[in-house]
Each structure stands twice: as structure tokens, then as C-alpha cells.
Structure 1
């Protein structure tokens, strides 16, 4: 009875969590897409990446109702095989596209801050669009096998026959999965870390007595991106690595199996927080997004330039 109550509580908690994230993130990312794609707001390299990041986030959070239905059905996947395959494919597609678009934004900010003049010839919107296209194609091809293999299995839960969608929380404990997880996560981890370390060094070395708007804007970007990375992406990949390594060992106890399974659910759920944190980044860093949101809320804000310049530190055309 205790186990049944625990499972029921877990399902209710996750269903409520996904519902809240869905309700917060969908309008916020929809507004971001409207702002970034509106012709009068202009374009820049950063806006190209931000637009694709918002697209990936939107596609991701639109999948959450399927998870709500799953948990509301007490862990029984009632949506069929096709929906299971699509949910798994789109989950990984948008998860890694979001992660890599964040990485692109970080690298672009690194170039703008550390090499403000030399990087002008590299930081062109045409190049950014090509990078985005390559990322979408690469991740799509990498995750395509999910669409062509059976993903639902019959199981027994609390003496009831249920259908389990393996793409929701079950991880493949294979050496190939370990390698792909390590490579997919290490590249953005290294790029993000080095970019922000060098940005902070550049800001500290800037010869200014007071904190200018460009300094504050850059520091906010670093903090918000790192919070997003630490909350949404790091726990999932660390736990996935532990799961794959530990699950192949023979001395695995029932308690550890239960802990690993729960960890999969929790860290997988945390990844969707990305859809809420990114709009916070848009609000604090993008003047057009901020003004649009305040206007919708009935609060006005005096017009202000969307770009700042500062000797030695250039974030012009940043957002």
C-alpha cells in the first residue's frame, strides 16, 4: 500500500509540474518568437540563434501534455506506438538543439566581447543561419533511429497490465549510449565554460570605474545561462552517465534500481525548466522582448536603445 501511495504521489507531482511548466513556457516562448521574427525589430547573429532557441524550446514544451496524460493515467501510455516514438524523437531533438543553440549564443558573445573588431567579418547572419541549419540536420539524423524502432512494451504494474513508453524515462545502458552522451554533452560544456571564463576576464580587465549597462548585461547573460545549464542540462546528463555505468554492474540492488529509475524521472523533468528560464533571459537581455511583455501587462517603459557600446567591450547588435 505504501508503494502504491508513493507511486501515486510521484505521478501527481510530475503531472502538476509539467502542467505548470507548460502554462508558463508556451506563452512566453510564443511571444519571444513573435518579437524575434518581427521585421521591424531587425536582425543580428544573436537574434538568429535566439529565434532558433525559442523554436526548439516551444517544440519541446508542446510535448509536455503527453507526459501529463501519461502520469494522469498512473504510468500507462495510452497514446499509442506512433505518439511514443514521436515523443522520444522530439524530446531528444529539441533538448540537444536547445543546448547547442545556447552554446552558439555563448560563443557569439565571446567573439563580440573578446574580439569585437576582428570578429565582425565572422559574425554574419548568413553564417549563423547556416550553423543553425547544420545543427537541426545533424541532431535530426542522430535521433532518427528512434522513429524506426518499437518503443512501447507491455508491463505489469501493481497487478495491472500497462503499456510503457521506453522513450520517456528508460535509458539504454549500452556502451554506444555512454559514448554518445559523453560526446554530446562534453562539447557544449567545454565551449560554454571557456567562453564565459574569457568573457568575465575581459570584463574585469576593462578600464572602467563604474558598472556600465554593457557590463551588467553581459554579467546577467553569464549568470542566467549558467543557471539554466546547471538546472536543466547538467543533472540529466550526469545522472544519465551514472545510470549507464552503474546499470551494467552485477551487484545492483533493488534499492539502487528504484533510485536510478526515480532519478531518471526527476532529471528528465528538470530539462523542461529550460523552457521557462530562457524567457527570463530574453526579458533581462532583450529590450524589445521586455517592452512587449511590460506592454501586455499594462506597464509602460520609456524607449531605450537596444544596443550598448563601451570602450574595449562591444556587445553592439547583441540582442
Structure 2
């Protein structure tokens, strides 16, 4: 099941993310803070998808790794690295919304475009450094009695002196803390909108913020929470029953299924970008309509430049009869 699932994710996710990258580079001329964060999220997904064919080949060969130890370490590190990059960038998007609503003036200084780019570099660097232990714990083992060379996962090692503390650390620092941060940022922003006097159309902004909160929490609930629970359970079972491999099988099976399911986030994140970024959503819909005009729900529309869209928006905002300023008679 795993090679078929990974292959389906690769076929669906790689075109979506490559299309998203093309839109970022060629269609979006004005990059905001949210655009920078969504671009880095897409870049993390694409880097993982480019390494996925090695896992597909590995599982098609019935767990026979023929690419050597360095590439084995690199693939395992990339999976772990991508997973927390996705979590941190979703958290940064929620932080961006919080600063824009609760601290609108201060956010221009605290999180301008330059500071946002620096934040992205810090996220990439810290996530990569914290993923290095995964490469150190990754081994290539030969199964006795059969001709099979396995690229091991640190979660499935019998010795848990290193894997259990590391997994718990990543679960707290890389999952629980971002989850609490997202909840605080969104709830604090909703409270600010409700108590702000004279706000034009506050319900519309609350709905948009609610969409951000809902999308982020759905990602955490569907992908990240079950993954961390199953991963820690698989390691704990090896700690509690070190000499009973049969007792490991239920948690190992659950963790393997979660690995397959979590890879779907590379297909969901482009939809998350469309859901969050209004400018990206319009460009994505226009580009998708041009590429696939026969798909239901897509309406082929002329692709306008940014100046033409601005002019068209101003034209639509004008009334057909322009009132004249009539001076009173003397």
C-alpha cells in the first residue's frame, strides 16, 4: 500500500506545488509578508516531493535499499525536516495575522518584508539543525537469512535511549508549542476585532480570521496530532516491551499508516495557500482555468496584467452616472 500511496501523492502533489511556484515567480508582482511565508511553505513541500521517488522505489523493491547510506540519511532527514517546516510556517502565518490585527502599527516594524525573509531563514536553519540527529540515528541494516538491505527509521530502532528523548523534545517544541501559539494568536485576534469600535464590517474580518484559524487547526488535527501520537507510541512500546517484538506490531502499523496519510499534506498545502492568500487564490484560479478549461467549475477568463486588473477594478467601482457638483446660484 505504501508505494501506491506515495506514488499517488507524488503524481498529485508535485504538479500542484510546481504550479504554485510558477505563480509565485511569474504572476505575483507584489509580495507581502503572507506571500513570503506561503512561498516558503510551498518550497518545503516541493523539496520533500523531489525526494519521494527514492522511497517509492525502496518500497517497490520490498524494503531493499540500493542507494547507499548517505542518500538513506538524506531522505530520512528530509522527511523529518519537511514535516516541521510545514508546522512552523503555518504557525508564522497565524502570527502574521495576529500582528496585523492586534498590533497593526508595530507589526510594520517587527515583521516587515525584510524581517519576514530573515524569519524564514531562521526557520529553515533551526529546523535543519534539529533534524541532524535523525541522520545520525539512521542506519542501513542487513536482514539475516534474506537478501534485504533496510534503510531504518529511528522510530523503529530497538534501542530507545536516544530516540525517545528526541521524539518527545520534537513533539513538545515542534508541535505542542506551535499549537498553543496558533490558538492564542487567533483567539486574541478575534477578541480584538470584537472590542474595536468603529471597525468597518467587523464580521467580514472575523470570518476571514476564522477561516485562518479553522484551516490551521484542521491541518494540525488531521496530520500533525495523530502523527506525533503514533510516533511516540511506537517508541514507548519498544521501551516498555524491549523483548517482545510482537507487541510492537499494532503501533508500528499505525505509524506506517500515519506516514502515508501525512504525506497528503503536500497536496493540501497548495489549497491552504489558496484559502489564506486572496491574491494567490485569484492567480491560481486564473492559471488553472487556462490550463484546464474543460474541468467543471472553472471558467476561462482573459488573463489580465496587474495594471489592467487595477484599471478594471476602478472601472467597476465607478457608477454609470457621475454626479456633478452644482454650485448654488448667487
Kindly indicate whether the alpha-carbon contact (under 8 Å) linking 2:23 and 2:284 is maintained by their aligned counterparts in 1.
yes
Which of residues 269, 276, 288 is equivalent to 1:293? 288
The 1-side partners of 2:154 and 2:138 are apart by 13
Mean Cα deviation higher: 200-209 or 58-67 = 200-209
Q: How far apart are the structure 1 equivalents of 2:23 and 2:38?
A: 10
1:246 aligns with 2:237: yes
Task: Verify: 1:128 aligned to 2:123, yes or no.
Answer: no
Distance 1:82 1:126 in 2: 35
Instruction: List 4+ stretches of structure 1 deviating above 4 A.
Output: 145-150, 202-211, 251-255, 301-305
Return 236-245 or 13-22, whichever deviates more.
236-245
Partner of 2:147: 161
Q: CA deviation at 1:32?
A: 1.4
Q: Tell me the TM-score normalized by structure 2.
A: 0.78
Select the residue among 220, 224, 227 that pairs with 1:229: 220
Residue in structure 2 matching 1:256, options 230, 233, 247: 247
Matched, 1:176 2:176: no
Q: Which residue of 2 aligns with 1:70?
A: 58
Query: What TM-score do the two structures reach when normalised by structure 1?
Result: 0.80
Q: Secondary structure at the match of 1:161?
A: coil
- 1:244 aligns to what SS in structure 2? helix
Q: Deviations over 1:125-149 (max 9, x none)?
A: 1001111111111122222344456
Flag the structure with larger Rg: 2
- The alpha carbon displacement at 1:52 in A equals 0.7
Q: Deviations over 1:146-173 (max 9, x none)?
A: 44566210115xx633111113863673
Between the aligned partners of 2:154 and 2:62, the Cα distance in structure 1 is 14
1:252/1:228 CA distance change after superposition, 3 Å: farther
- Helix, strand or coil for the counterpart of 1:43? coil
Which residue of structure 2 aligns with residue 271 of structure 1? 262
Q: Which residue of 2 aligns with 1:119?
A: 107
Distance 2:38 2:20 in 1: 9
Taking a change above 3 Å as real, the CA distance of residues 204 and 247 of structure 1, as seen in their structure-2 partners, is farther
Partners of 1:65 and 1:203 lie apart in 2 by 46
| Cross-structure match for 2:315 | none
Question: 1:265: Cα distance to partner?
Answer: 0.9
Could you tell me whether the CA contact under 8 Å between 1:169 and 1:261 is conserved in 2? no
1:182-197 matches, within 5 Å, as: 182-197=172-187
Structure-2 residue corresponding to 1:310? none
Give the count of matched residue pairs: 290
Residue correspondence of structure 1 range 200-211 to structure 2 within 5 A: 200-202=190-192, 211=203
Backbone CA RMSD of aligned residues: 2.7
Given the superposition, is the C-alpha separation of residues 109 and 102 from structure 1 closer, same or farther in structure 2, using an over 3 Å criterion? same
What secondary structure, in the 3-state scheme, does the structure 1 residue paired with 2:271 have? helix
Contact 2:234 2:248 in 1 (8 A): no
Deviation, 1:118, is 3.4
Inter-CA distance 65–191: structure 2 relative to 1 (3 Å threshold): same
Runs of 5+ unmatched residues, structure 2: 294-298, 311-330
Cα distance between partner residues in 1 of 2:69 and 2:200: 60
Structure 1 unaligned regions, length at least 5:
1-12, 306-319
SS of aligned partner of 2:97 = helix
The answer (yes or no) to whether the contact 1:169–1:264 under 8 Å persists in 2 is no
